[in-house]
Amino acid sequence: MDTHNVVALPVVSRVAVCGGTHGNELSGVYLVRERLKRREDGTEPVSVVTLMSNPRAVQLCVRYVETDLNRCFTRAALSAPVSEDSPYEMIRSRELNALLGPKGSVQAVDLLCDLHNTTANTGLCLITHSDCDWIALHICKHLQREMSSTPVRYVHFDLPLDEAYSLDSVGKHGFAMEVGPQPHGLVRSGIFSAMQEGVQLMLDWIWQFNSGTLFEGGSVDIFTMVKNIDYPRDPQTHMITAAVHPDLQDRDFCLLHPGEPMFLSFSGETLRYRGKEALYPFFINEAAYYEKGVALSLARKRRVEIPSVRSDTQR
C-alpha cells in the first residue's frame, strides 16, 4: 500500500453516546439506561460519555415536551437569548452544548453518536450534515462490513455546520444513528439488538483507530437528501386525504421511478410520483413527520471515494 496516500487524523478520545433526544424512541432510551447501569465495569476499550438527552420527554414517553430538541442546535438557536419562560428543550439544548460542545470549538467531544428510532423501514442509517467526514464514513464502512442482518446506509443532509440543527452537529464528528422500523413508544428486540451492535462496532472501530490501525480507503454510497414530499391534503381542512401506497410502504432506499404509485387515497385512488428523476425514498411514513408535513424524503445516491486513514498519534 502506498502510505503516502494515507490521511492522518487526530485520535477520537472523547466520545458521547446520547439517547432519548426524542423521548419515545425507545431503543436508544433503553440502550442508554443499560450503558449507564454498567458504565463502571471498565470493560469498554474507549472512554464514553453516555447521556439521556431529554429526560423529561423520556419520562412522559413523548417526542418532546415543548419543542423538538433535535432542531435546537443551529448556531442561531444556540445563541438566541433564553429566559426561564423559554421552551424546556431550548434550555436543555444549552446544557447539552455546554456539556458536549460548545459546537464548533476545540473543547467539543471528538465524536457524538445520537441514537434514534424511526417507524420507517430504514435499517440502520448514519445521518449527518457532512459528506466528507472521513471518520463517520469509515465507521459506516465498518458497520456495512460487519453487520450481517441489517442494511447500513450513510445519509447526508447538505447543510453548513452553522445551520445543522441536530444534536450530533455539536461534536467534532457526529451522526444520528437511526434504526427502524420500530413504532414509537415501544421497543422491538431485533431493532434494539441492531442498535446495540451498531454502537459496539463503532466503539471497536474507534479503539482500533486510536490504537494505530490503518483503515484502507474505498468507496461508500452516500444518499443526499433532495426534497420532502407531503401527504395529499384537503385544501380547506388541511387534513391528509391519502396514506402512503402499499407498493411504496416499507421500501425505503428502493429507487422510485417517475409514474410509480406513491399514495393511495382513503377513497381508493392511486396517486403517482410526478418527479422527473428517479430518486431514493426514505423516512417513508415516519409518524413524527405528519406534523412536519413530510410523508417521505427523496435522496440522490452517489458513490464517493474515501482515503485510507490512521490516527496521527500512534500509541
Cβ 270 to a copy of itself shortest distance, Å = 10
Residues 41-100 that bind a copy of itself (CB under 8 A): 61
Query: Looking at 95, 163, 178, 269, which residue is catalytic?
Result: 178
First to last CA, the chain: 22
- Which of 6, 34, 71, 228 touches a copy of itself (CB under 8 A)? 34
Cα(81)–Cα(98) distance, integer angstroms? 15
Long-range contacts of 87-93, Cβ-Cβ distance < 8 Å, separation of 24 or more: 88/56, 89/54, 89/57, 89/64, 89/65, 90/66, 92/53, 92/54, 92/56, 93/69, 93/167
Cβ 243 to a copy of itself shortest distance, Å = 4
Cβ 199 to a copy of itself shortest distance, Å = 13
Binding residue per annotation — 156? no
Reference 47, options 71, 69, 15; nearest CA is 15
Residue 266 sits in the site that holds a copy of itself (CB under 8 A):
yes
Binding piece for a copy of itself, criterion CB under 8 A, among 10-18, 39-47, 94-102, 263-271 = 263-271
Binding residue per annotation — 22? yes
In this complex, which beta carbon is closest to a copy of itself, that of residue 102 or of residue 261?
261
Cβ 41 to a copy of itself shortest distance, Å = 11
Reference 167, options 308, 268, 72; nearest CA is 72
Binding piece for a copy of itself, criterion CB under 8 A, among 28-36, 88-96, 106-114, 158-166 = 28-36
Q: Which residue has the cell 391528509?
A: 240
Residue 239 sits in the site that holds a copy of itself (CB under 8 A):
yes
Contacts with a copy of itself by CB under 8 A: the residue count is 32
Task: Write the burial class of residue 296 (CB in 10 Å: 0-12 exposed, 13-18 middle, 19+ buried).
Answer: buried
Cα(156)–Cα(71) distance, integer angstroms? 16
Binding residue per annotation — 40? no
Cβ 233 to a copy of itself shortest distance, Å = 12
- Which of 286, 296, 306, 309 touches a copy of itself (CB under 8 A)? 286
Cα(35)–Cα(54) distance, integer angstroms? 16
- Which of 10, 45, 190, 259 touches a copy of itself (CB under 8 A)? 190
- Which of 187, 229, 262, 299 touches a copy of itself (CB under 8 A)? 187
Residue 285 sits in the site that holds a copy of itself (CB under 8 A):
yes
Please indicate whether residue 277 is annotated as part of the active site. no
Long-range contacts of 264-268, Cβ-Cβ distance < 8 Å, separation of 24 or more: 265/232, 265/241, 266/241, 266/242, 267/241
Q: Which residues contact 117 (CB under 8 A, 6 or more apart)?
A: 22, 25, 26, 27, 28, 178, 179, 180, 182, 184, 191, 195
Binding piece for a copy of itself, criterion CB under 8 A, among 8-16, 48-56, 157-165, 182-190 = 182-190
Cα(257)–Cα(24) distance, integer angstroms? 33
Residues that bind a copy of itself (CB under 8 A): 30-31, 33-34, 61, 119, 183-190, 192-193, 239-240, 243-246, 249, 264, 266-267, 285-288, 290-291
